[in-house]
Amino acid sequence: MTAISSPAKAVAAQRWDAIDVARGIAIAAMIVYHFSWDLSFLKLVATDIVAVPAWRWFARAIAGSFLFLAGAGLVLAHVQGLRKEAFLRRLAKVGGAALLITAVTYVAFPESYIFFGILHCIALSSVLALPFLRLPAPAVLASAALCLTLSWILTDPSFDTPWLDWLGLGASDPVTNDYVPIFPWFGLVLAGVASAKAILPHAETLRLARWRAADRVSRLLAWAGRKSLPIYLLHQIVLLGVLFGVLQLTGPSPLAEARPFIAECEASCLAQNGQAGTCRALCSCVVDELRRTDIWRRVIDDLVEPEDRTRISRMAQQCLRRKEP
C-alpha cells in the first residue's frame, strides 16, 4: 500500500463535509423510520411496522450505515496518531448518551428497555476497533468478514443469558426496542475502518476530503451529521409529543385497534382447517359486527367476558353463513 504523506494526513484528519453529509442522510432516514414506528406504536395507522420485513431491513440498513461511518470516522480522526483526549471525550459523550437511553427506556418501557442499542454498540466498538487502526486494510477486512459471520457459526443457547446478550451469539434475541449486539454489527465498524484505510492513499480521496457542502440541502445534511448525537437523543421526544397530540384529536385508527383481535381470530380460524382468504373475510366481518355493539370496547381493552364470547361466536356463525355460496 502506498504510504500517506504528512500533508495528506493533515488534510485527511480535518472534518470531512462528505462524511457529515452521509451521516446526515442516515439521520434523515432514521427520523423517517422512527416517525413510521411511532405512528404504528400509537395505532395512528393500521400497518404494524415491526412485522413488515421491508421496514426491518430499512432499520438495519440505517444502523449499519451509522456503524460503518463510525469506523471510517475513527480512521480519519486518528490518521496522524491516536488523539487520546479527543477519543476519550467522544467516548464519554456517546457512552453517557447510551446510559441515558437505557435509563429513560427502562422507565418508559420496563419490559423492553434498550440495554444494548446503537449507541452502546458504537461506544464499545470504538474501543474494540483501536488495535485495528494499526493493521493493513486487508487484515481489517478479513476480521470484518469474520465478525459478520460469527453470529451464524457460534450461535448457541448457552449464550442466552442477560450477561451475554450484548455479544449477540444467543439462539434467540432478547425483548428490547433496539438491539445492536457486537456480533455481527462490529463487523460493519471494521468494514468502515478497512474502507477508510484502503482509500486514504489515493489522490481522489484528498479531493473528497476538501469538498465542502455548498447548496442548501447538502449544508443542512452536513449540519445534521455534525449534530447527530443531540438529534438522536431529542427527535423521538419531539415526534412522540406531536403524534400523541394528534392521537388526542383523531383517536386511533380503527384498523389498528382491530389488528390484535383479527390476528387472533385468523389464527383460530386457520387452526380449524380454514382457508386464509376465507378466514380474513370472516374475521373482518366479525369486526364490522362487533363495532356496532358494546362488546367492541371490551375486546379492545381485553376485558371480554364469557357471555361476550358466546355473542362473538354467534356473530362468526352469521358471517360464515353470509360467505357461503
Whole-number percent of the chain with pLDDT over 90: 60
- pLDDT class of 1 with cuts at 50, 70, 90: very low
Output the CA angle 28-33-34, nearest 5 degrees: 100
Q: What is the structure's pLDDT at 299?
A: 84
Q: How far apart are CA 159 and CA 170, in angstroms?
A: 4
**DSSP codes, 182-206:** HHHHHHHHHHHHHHHHHHTTSHHHH
This prediction's pTM? 0.85
Give the dihedral of Cα atoms 298, 300, 304, 310; nearest 10 deg.
100
Q: What is the structure's pLDDT at 4?
A: 62
Section 197-219 average pLDDT: 90
Using one digit for the tens of pLDDT, what is the confidence trace for 53-110? 999 999 999 999 999 999 999 999 998 888 999 999 999 999 999 999 999 999 988 9
Q: How far apart are CA 30 and CA 312, in angstroms?
A: 42
Q: Do residues 97 and 69 lie in contact, with contact meaning Cβ atoms separated by under 8 Å?
A: no
3-state DSSP assignment of residue 110:
coil
Using one digit for the tens of pLDDT, what is the confidence trace for 240-299? 999 999 999 998 888 788 888 888 888 888 888 678 888 888 888 888 888 888 888 888
Higher per-residue pLDDT: 179 or 156: 179
Using one digit for the tens of pLDDT, what is the confidence trace for 94-120? 999 999 999 999 998 899 999 999 999
Torsion-angle region of 121 (φ positive above 0: left; ψ -120 to 50: alpha; else: beta): alpha
Q: What is the structure's pLDDT at 325?
A: 54
Q: Report how far apart, in Å, the C-alpha atoms of 258 and of each of 82, 84, 148, 243, 278 are.
A: 56, 55, 39, 20, 18
Q: What is the structure's pLDDT at 6?
A: 65
Q: What is the structure's pLDDT at 202?
A: 82
Q: What is the structure's pLDDT at 7?
A: 60
The three cell numbers of residue 64 are 449499519
3-state DSSP assignment of residue 50:
helix
Mean pLDDT (the chain) is 90
Section 128-145 average pLDDT: 96
Q: What is the structure's pLDDT at 297?
A: 84
